Amino acid sequence: MPRPTIYDVAAAAGVATSTVSRAFSSPNRVNARTREHIFAVAADLGYRPNPHARALLSGRHHTVAMVVSDITNPHYFELIRGAELRAKASEYTLVLVNAEESPRVEYDQIQRLVPSVDGFVLGASRLPDENLVQIAGQRPVVLMSRELPGLPSVVLEHTQGCHQIVEHLASLGHRHLIYLAGPRNSWMAATRWSALRTAAEELGLRAERIGPFTPKASHGAAAADSAIRAGATAIVAHNDLLAIGVMRRLKQRSVQVPQEVSVVGFDNIFAADLCTPGLTTLGGAHADVGRVAIEILLQATGPQQPTGTSPQVALPTELVMRESTGPCA
Amino acid sequence: MPRPTIYDVAAAAGVATSTVSRAFSSPNRVNARTREHIFAVAADLGYRPNPHARALLSGRHHTVAMVVSDITNPHYFELIRGAELRAKASEYTLVLVNAEESPRVEYDQIQRLVPSVDGFVLGASRLPDENLVQIAGQRPVVLMSRELPGLPSVVLEHTQGCHQIVEHLASLGHRHLIYLAGPRNSWMAATRWSALRTAAEELGLRAERIGPFTPKASHGAAAADSAIRAGATAIVAHNDLLAIGVMRRLKQRSVQVPQEVSVVGFDNIFAADLCTPGLTTLGGAHADVGRVAIEILLQATGPQQPTGTSPQVALPTELVMRESTGPCA
DNA sequence: GAACGGACAGCAAGGGGTTGCCATCAGGTT
DNA sequence: AACCTGATGGCAACCCCTTGCTGTCCGTTC
């Protein structure tokens, strides 16, 4: 017993297939009584429209893809969760793709999915601008943790946030901070560094950048060693994972945090609250980033013509102070 | 300029559409020279087959869905990662669905996806057996962290693992353990309890179960209070999140871990290594669970007839000892 | 040299819906 | 009574690709 089709429903209800189709896709084009009758018959038969047949003609798949630069980063869990929830609320299917920090993989996967999805949400895309523009020409795209003029995006307000970090460090007496940079092709890394440097200048601190580092805990050891060698009293790591890796290494080398060195991270992942000492970090409502990104995307894939506007949303950040930062030695 | 179709390719190459189609889907049905020519023209035009049209007829979508009971649980990240990687390796698309701990949501989402995916991987499904059997009748299904005769599954070897836990506790002099149970409809919770109880009996410990508890850190406080009231010297929590929540509460109540109470978790999530004291927990290669599950699923969705066998894979566990367990007071 | 068989390409019928256009009909106008 | 209008439902083409069947061509075989 294969799935019933509109033909079965039409036959059972004694109407034409087009009427059945319309009853589902544009209910007000069909008389209320007929419609109810069709619905009843359909429910009886257990009919469900075949999304592929529908997509074939309409070109709309009720599916969006979320591409993340590295799925192993816990920071994304929140984004994914927010996105999944929002997509589900609109009965959209969420396809998840891991770019494994490789622009190549990212691009290939996106191209593979172009025919099957209505749009893309890209998390911290490592692709060059021109690729993003090209993809945006094929399907609606919303960027997360990245901005590009002309494309909609959702980010956390990092300029502001970085300023808070530097202020926090300055008020603790630090005169010199070291930023452990993220991947070379990370927009976020560039933005953070630029914001940190500006804020540092403004507040009379010396800012230095080391890196790039792969933002994983395992790469924290090398980062920590470099930072110590550079004579850091305050380390701002590209993200919490790196910061946690740094702190581990510092403990190993018997460098006291925060007495000798202060450490700050980004993202406020679950683990930041659990490590010892607790990690001071710049957090924010990451689930909202995912949620809003999907929301904008659904707007863009909607039936109404694209408005031409590309909202660039910046959600507030919050400096979560824990024990990894303290007065400068 | 819409995407080129086989018609465009056929016209440009001077052959029939069917020949183009066959050149792609069954290359040896077409002369090598013709084929090469078609490929050249197709590449030139930037042709890519439309997966929906293909799926419409063939019924194969090159897509599998992964449904997890609660996406916010870090334990799943590994599963998801392993699954995503494996799916990508076979050029399958992975759809991610969060059941939010609700059997209702789980079932509805699955039914919604039935027409669009080739199969399901269900992580810690909360559905009753009969639902699973029914779904398995519609599409191939592979269970993770759950077993059901007749359905393929991938789990960690928990019986063995639980035995290790109890042995560990027994060797530390504990005579009484309390299991903080997971959700009522969790197969895993039932299995762990049964394994713990058996092992406890064997080793002469008294085992007691409290719960069920929602396995999140935020529910650890209540669990901790119950456990203390029951006079626990050793607590085995349903998962690491709950264990971490318990330890937080114990610290709050100035109950020393492990001096007064030992705590053990399950899953060995990233945070287990970071909390203080480090959490003793039963780990395993979770990414492999996801990987193997997808592998079995792809096997089952493959062209060859289902073999009728339903592999029940059990991957080894590993008791990771940290500082949260110690000699009984 | 006729009959035969294999390799290959094309025709056309779907697969499950959507939708532009037309036919019908009831109700309202003048 | 003739005419118009809007609401409603049906016909059939179309979306893009797959595949069973047919026809052609050419090399074999007896």
Q: What per-residue confidence (pLDDT) applies to A306?
A: 54
Interface residues, strand D, Cβ cutoff 7 Å: A 14-19, 28-35, 53, 56-57; B 2-3, 5-7, 17-18, 21-22, 24-26, 47-50, 53-54, 56-58
Pairing mode of beta strands B119-123, A119-123:
unpaired
Main-chain dihedrals φ then ψ at residue A263, nearest 5 degrees: -130, 135
Please enumerate, as own/partner, the contacts of B275-279 that have beta carbons within 8 Å and a separation of 24 or more. Answer: B275/A274, B275/A275, B275/B244, B275/B247, B276/A274, B276/A275, B276/A276, B276/B323, B277/B247, B277/B322, B277/B323, B277/B324, B278/B322, B278/B323, B278/B324, B279/B240, B279/B243, B279/B244, B279/B247, B279/B322, B279/B324
Which CATH number applies to B6-49: 1.10.1050.10, 1.10.540.10, 1.10.260.40, 3.10.20.30? 1.10.260.40
Question: Residue B307 pLDDT > 80, yes or no?
Answer: no
Of the candidates B306, B265, B263, B301, the residue with the CA atom closest to the CA atom of residue B284? B265
CA distance A53 to B171: 62
The least confident of A273-282, B25-34, B204-213, B247-256 is: B25-34
CATH superfamily of B63-155+286-314: Response regulator (3.40.50.2300)
Domains B6-49 and B63-155+286-314 share a fold: no
pLDDT in tens, B101-122: 899 999 998 988 888 888 999 9
Residue ranges of alpha helices (H) inside A46-157 are 51-58, 75-89, 103-113, 129-138
Q: Are strands B141-144 and A141-144 parallel, antiparallel or unpaired?
A: unpaired
The CB density around residue B320, as the number of other CB atoms within 10 Å, is 17
Measured CA to CA, the distance from residue A32 to residue A40 in angstroms comes to 12
Give the span between the Cα atoms of B156 and B143, in whole angstroms: 12
Number of H-type helices and E-type strands within chain B: 12, 12
pLDDT number for residue B13: 86
Confidence of residue A27 (pLDDT cuts 50, 70, 90): confident
Lowest pLDDT segment from A42-46, A281-285, A301-305: A301-305
Class of domain A63-156+286-315: alpha beta
pLDDT > 70? residue B3: yes
Buried b (16+ CB within 10 A) or exposed e, B175-190: ebbbbbbbbebbbbbe
Q: Rounded distance, CA A241 to CA A254, Å?
A: 20
Chain B contact set for A102 (CB, 8 A): none
Looking at chain B, the whole-number percentage of residues with pLDDT higher than 90 is 58
- Looking at residues A92-105, what average pLDDT do you find? 90
Q: What is the per-residue burial (b if ≥16 Cβ within 10 Å, else e) of A289-311?
A: bbbbbbbbbbbbbeeeeeeeebe
Instruction: Calculate helix-pair angle for B129-138, B103-113, nearest 10 degrees.
Output: 10
pLDDT band for position B276 (cuts 50, 70, 90): confident
- Residue type present at position A75: H
**Of B81, B116, B270, which is closest to A52 when you measure between CB atoms?**
B116
Provide the pairing of β-strand B312-315 with B153-156.
parallel
**Separation of alpha carbons A184 and B28, rounded Å:** 45
Segment A65-71 shows an average pLDDT of 91
Tokens 């669009």 belong to residue: B116
Confidence class for position B313, pLDDT limits 50, 70, 90: very high
DSSP annotation string for B36-69: HHHHHHHHHHT----HHHHHHHH---SEEEEEES
DSSP string covering B295-306, please?
HHHHHHHSSSPP
User: How far: B139 CA to C6 C1' (Å)?
Assistant: 39
**Interface test mutation site (partner B, options A6, A63, A96, max chain B beta carbons within 10 A):** A96
Model confidence over B140-159: pLDDT tens digits? 999 999 999 999 999 999 89
Kindly give, in sequence order, each residue whose CB lies less than 8 Å from that of residue A226, ignoring residues fewer than 6 positions away.
A180, A210
Question: Cβ of B7 < 7 Å from strand C?
Answer: no
Q: Is the pLDDT of residue B308 over 80?
A: no
- Given CA atoms A3, A5, A8, A14 in this order, what sign does their dihedral have? positive
Report which of residues 57-86 in chain B place their beta carbon less than 7 angstroms from any atom of strand C: 57
Is residue A262 very low, low, confident or very high in pLDDT (cuts 50, 70, 90)? very high
Q: What is the Cα A207 distance to its own chain's centre?
A: 28
Domain boundaries, chain A: 6-49, 63-156+286-315, 158-284
Say yes or no for a CB contact (<8 Å) between A116 and B52. yes
Where is mean pLDDT largest: B44-48, B174-178, B210-214? B174-178
Which residues lie below 8 Å from residue A171, measured CB to CB, with a gap of 6+?
none
Q: What pLDDT score was predicted for residue A26?
A: 82
* B31 vs A297: which has the higher pLDDT: A297
Residue B328 has pLDDT above 90, yes or no: no
Query: In chain B, which residues have their Cβ closer than 8 Å to the Cβ of A3?
Result: 115
Cα dihedral across residues A130, A133, A137, A138: positive or negative: positive
A48 chain-B contacts, CB cut-off 8 A: 111-112, 114-115
The CATH architecture assigned to B158-284 reads 3-Layer(aba) Sandwich (3.40)
**For the segment 198-237 of chain A, residues whose CB is within 7 A of strand C:** none
A32, closest nucleotide (Cα–C1'): D8
Report pLDDT digits (tens) over B32-70. Answer: 888 888 888 888 888 888 888 888 887 788 889 999 988
In this prediction, residue A304 has a pLDDT band, given cuts at 50, 70 and 90, of low
CB-CB contact of A157 with A315 (8 Å): yes
CB count, 10 Å around CB of B229? Answer: 9
